[in-house]
């Protein structure tokens, strides 16, 4: 009876270690896949906000997808940006990207010098090997 218990305990430990190893491998592969997939998104966000800050709203609008432009016309885009009052924000901090159905979602927080935050959710999709903005939404805090 003691031999059986020690065998079960030994097998249980090995199975637990194998499961932990498999989980660690899965997490590592997922993290690498996410990093590789998300390449190009941070430069796109920087380009998007740089164009808006320099008054090139039409150029920023063209960084969105055709689908976005079909649902949000240029005037609505300009009103949305005006409502955000982006000129008072100086710092941008992005969160951890998430992959879902071939799209990448990213939460971004703009910060003012006074400590005020503006949280935005972006969804990106690839169009001809380039990332484009599919959706921008103000996060209700």
Query: pLDDT tens, 66-78?
Result: 999 999 999 999 9
What is the model's pLDDT at position 59? 96
What is the architecture of the domain spanning 40-138?
Roll (3.10)
Question: Taking the complete model, does pTM exceed 0.75, yes or no?
Answer: no
CA distance 94 to 43: 12
CA distance 51 to 45: 10
Q: Is 106 helix (H, G, I), strand (E, B) or coil?
A: strand
Domain ranges of the chain: 1-37, 40-138
What is the chain's mean pLDDT, rounded? 85
Alpha carbon separation from 33 to 25, 82, 114, 137 (Å, rounded) = 12, 36, 37, 25
Read off the pLDDT of residues 44-98 as tens digits, 9 standing for 90 and up: 999 999 999 899 999 999 999 999 999 999 999 999 999 998 888 888 888 888 8
Strands (E), 51-129: 89-94, 98-100, 103-112, 117-127
């Amino acid at each position: 009876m003691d031999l059986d218990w020690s065998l079960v305990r030994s097998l249980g430990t090995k199975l637990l270690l194998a499961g932990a190893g498999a989980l660690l491998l899965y997490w590592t592969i997922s993290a690498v896949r996410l990093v590789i997939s998300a390449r190009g998104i941070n430069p796109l966000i920087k380009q998007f906000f740089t164009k808006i800050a320099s008054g090139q709203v039409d150029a920023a609008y063209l960084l969105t997808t055709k689908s976005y432009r079909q649902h949000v016309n240029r005037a609505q885009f300009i009103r949305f940006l005006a409502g955000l009052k982006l000129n008072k924000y100086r710092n941008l901090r992005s969160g951890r990207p998430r992959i879902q159905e071939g799209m990448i979602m990213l939460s971004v927080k703009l910060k003012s010098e006074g400590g005020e935050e503006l949280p935005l959710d972006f969804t990106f999709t690839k169009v001809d090997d380039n990332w484009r903005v599919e959706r921008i939404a103000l996060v209700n805090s």
